[in-house]
Amino acid sequence: MGFRPASPAELDEMERGIDAWAARQLAEDNCVASVERAEAPLRRWYIRVLGEEKAVFSIWLTLQQRSLHFETYFVPAPEENHERLYEYCLRRNLRLRGARFAIGAEDAVFLVGEVDAFDADDDRLDRILGTLYEATEQHFRPAMRIGYASRFRG
């Protein structure tokens, strides 16, 4: 079942809500380093997040007529152990809530997800940020040790 389309007025209201949420995150959340917006007509936000295992990563939020798409670049294409890394990510998908690992451009690994545009309230946005932060913190180092094993030896 697909998401129902939002009217232009509803999208404008959702956009203002996401702007306000992002401004609060920047002011109140120590892990949010910056928030930028794409040029109109795109409804896209770039949120730079400070982590511990992965020092900095960006989350992209894209508001569309029916959905809010979110993603973060997790790791570049592996230099070695391709199958093991992709298997690791696929097995972790079973336990992730609200996001999933995916192979994207140039075989890089991303964390992605999508929710109904009408569900993009403060609580849902907090969960998206938390989910991507937690998954990155928990899985970045093991993924790098698999896909770049020779760099971690010795």
Q: How far is 119 from 125, CA to CA, in rounded Å?
A: 9
Q: What percent of the chain has pLDDT over 90?
A: 92
Q: Give all strands (DSSP E) within the chain, no chain letters.
A: 32-37, 44-50, 56-63, 67-75, 100-103, 109-116
pLDDT, residue 51, reads: 96
pLDDT, residue 34, reads: 97
> 47-72: per-residue pLDDT in tens?
999 999 999 999 999 999 999 999 99
At residue 64, the 3 state secondary structure works out as coil
Q: How far is 107 from 147, CA to CA, in rounded Å?
A: 12
Concatenated DSSP letters of 80-116: S-HHHHHHHHHHHHTT-SS-EEEE-GGG-EEEEEEEE
pTM (predicted TM-score)? 0.93
| Structural domains of the chain, with CATH | 8-152 (3.30.1460.10)
**pLDDT confidence tier of residue 152, bands split at 50, 70 and 90:** confident
- Is residue 154 predicted with pLDDT exceeding 60? no
